[in-house]
Amino acid sequence: MTPPIISIQSVSKHFGGTRALHEVSFDVLPGELHAICGENGAGKSTLMKILSGVITSYDGALQVDGNSVRFSGTRDAEKAGISIIHQELNLVEQLSIAANIFLGRERRWGGVFRDDRGMERAATELLHALDCDIPTHRLAGSLRVGDQQLIEIAKSLSLNSRILVMDEPTSALTEAEVERLYRVIAKLRSHGTTILYISHKMDEVFHLSDRITVLRDGQFIATRNTRETNPAEITHLMVGRDIESLDLGPRSPIGETILAVKNLSLAWPGHARGYRLKDVSFELHRGEVLGIAGLMGAGRTELLESLFGASQLTPTGEIWLDGRSILPRHPAEAKRYGLALVTEDRKRLGIFNTMDVGRNISMCSLQKATVGPLLERSRENVLSQSMVEKLRIKTAGLTPPIGSLSGGNQQKCIVGRWLLTNPKVLLLDDPTRGVDVGAKAELYRVIRGLCSEGLGVIVTSSELPELLTLSDRIMVLSEGRKTAEFPIAEATQEKILEAATRSWQSHSKPA
C-alpha cells in the first residue's frame, strides 16, 4: 500500500466552548480525489483550514509526506505544497487577474520595479493550461464567479501545489461552469495533483471522487471507497439517520390567486441588454409553491427584489396582491402589504451578526412586543420562542449569538423572522444555499407546511432537483425574460435547462 501523502492524527479544535473537531484521524493517498462530506457544522471547513495553515492552534498532529508539520500560516502550507480554494473567494476585486495570481509574490526586475508584463504573460499561460483565455489585465471584480474561481486555481498552480483543497467549489457555478470545472479537475489529476474536495452534493462527489470521508459533529465517522458505496449510505452516515424518504407528503390544495404580476420590467442602464427584467408575467395561488429556475444572471434575484421594493430602480408593470394593485418602493411597504423576502446572501443581507438568536428572529415584528412606547423583552422572547419551536431551530435558547448556529438554522431564524409578520406571500431566494442535506429536508417540510396554512411561496434555486421536489409549478427565466412555465407533472431537468439556456433572440425568431 502506498504511504499517505497527508496523515491527519487525532486532530481536535475548540472554539471557545464549542467543539469543532474531536480526535479526527484519517489518511489521504497521493493522487487521489478525496471527498470530505458532512453536514454544516460537521467540522469540514475547520479541518481544511488547519490543513492549509489558516488555523494554527489545534491539538493533534499532521504529517505531510511522512514528516510532521505544524504550519504557522498559509505561507508555510503553500511551501509544503498545499493550497486551498475557499468557498468564499479571496480575490482583490480592484486588481487585475495577473496581479491577483501573483499577489504577495510579485515578479520584479532590478529588485524594485514591478514586472506587470511578465506577470500577465505568466498568468496567461497558467490560465491557458486551464482552457481559459480571459485577458489577464482585466480586473478580477469584473469576472463571473466561475471565472474568479479559475483564477484561484491558476494561483495554486503557480505555487506548484501538489495538494489542492476545494471547499464547495460548485456552490455558485452554472451547469456550464461546473462542466468546465470538472475538466480542469481531470487535468489537474492527470498531473498527479491530490485533491481534497468538500461538498454536500452527492452527484458531484460520486462523479469525481476515489474515496469519501464522512465527518459528523466534529468527529470522524468513516472513509469509504466510492465504488463500494452509494449516495444513500453516505447520506445516512452524514446525518446519522435515514432521510432517503424525501417524501414531503401530499401537496396542499391550491386556492385562489394571491399574487398576479403583469409585464414586470426592470431597467438596466448602461448595459447592452438595457433591462434586467422584461415583461415578466405570472400568477401565484394560495397554498402553491412556484419555483423559479434560471442560470446565474437570468434575473431570479432581481425579480424577487422588484416584487419586494428592494431593487435599486423602481420596476414598471403591475403587481396585484390579493386583488389590490401594489408597487412597493421600499421593503417597509412590501412588508406592510404582506410580502416577505428571505434573501440569497444570508451573511451580507440576512443576519445581524452582533445580535443574538432571539433578536434576529423578532427583528421584523417588534411592534407586536411593545407596551406603550417600550419594548417588552418577555413578549419579544415569546414571539421568538414560538418560531424556534415551530421551525424546530436547533439552538441553546434565544441568547447565543446568531453566528454560533449552523447555516441551516440561521436560515430558519430568518424564515421565522418573516413568518412572525404573517405574510401572504413568502419569497425565498435560494433558501438552501450552503445548507446541508438534513437541514434542507427540514426546510422543505417547513415550506410545505406553510403552504398548507394558505401561504403562497415563490422559491428560486440553483439546483434543479430541489425545484422539482419542492414546486407545484416551475417558471423559467433566461436573460431577464420568462421563457417557459411547466406544471410539475410536465417538468423535467432537460426541458427546464433547454428553456433556461434559450436566448431571447432565438426564441423570438422561430426556426
Contacts with another protein by CB under 8 A lie at: 16, 56-59, 70, 308, 310, 330-332, 334-336, 341, 343, 348-355, 359, 363-364, 366-367, 370, 373-375, 377-378, 381, 385, 396-399, 417, 421
Contacts of 279 (CB under 8 A, 6+ apart): 263, 264, 265, 317, 481, 482
Q: For another protein, which is the closer residue by CB, 394 or 445? A: 394
Name the amino acid, one letter, at 227. Answer: R
| Residue 247 phi, psi (nearest 5) | -85, 115
Q: For another protein, which is the closer residue by CB, 254 or 355? A: 355
Q: For another protein, which is the closer residue by CB, 59 or 453? A: 59
Q: For another protein, which is the closer residue by CB, 398 or 464? A: 398
Q: For another protein, which is the closer residue by CB, 8 or 491? A: 8
Provide, rounded to whole angstroms, the least separation between the CB of residue 105 and another protein: 19
Q: For another protein, which is the closer residue by CB, 119 or 402? A: 402
Q: For another protein, which is the closer residue by CB, 389 or 453? A: 389
For residue 67, count other CB atoms closer than 10 A to its CB: 9
Cell of 183: 475538466
For 45-91, give the DSSP string. Answer: HHHHHHHTTS----EEEEEETTEEE--SSHHHHHHTTEEEE-SS---
Distances, alpha carbon 315 to alpha carbons 127, 328, 329, 429, 485, in Å: 40, 9, 9, 18, 22
Provide, rounded to whole angstroms, the least separation between the CB of residue 385 and another protein: 7
Residue 473, SS3? strand
Q: For another protein, which is the closer residue by CB, 127 or 364? A: 364
Name the amino acid, one letter, at 207. Answer: H
Could you give the CA distance from residue 433 to residue 440 in angstroms, rounded to a whole number?
9
Name the amino acid, one letter, at 38. Answer: G
Could you give the CA distance from residue 29 to residue 222 in angstroms, rounded to a whole number?
16
Q: Starting at the edge strand that comes first in sequence, how are the strands of the sheet with 257-267 ordered?
A: 275-285, 257-267, 316-321, 324-326
For 295-355, give the DSSP string. Answer: -TTSSHHHHHHHHTT-SSSPPEEEEEETTEEE--SSHHHHHHHTEEEE-S-IIIII--TTS
Could you give the CA distance from residue 243 to residue 221 in angstroms, rounded to a whole number?
17
The residue assigned the cell 491558476 is: 154
Strands (E), 439-495: 456-460, 473-478, 481-487
Q: For another protein, which is the closer residue by CB, 70 or 117? A: 70
For residue 56, count other CB atoms closer than 10 A to its CB: 14
Provide, rounded to whole angstroms, the least separation between the CB of residue 354 and another protein: 4
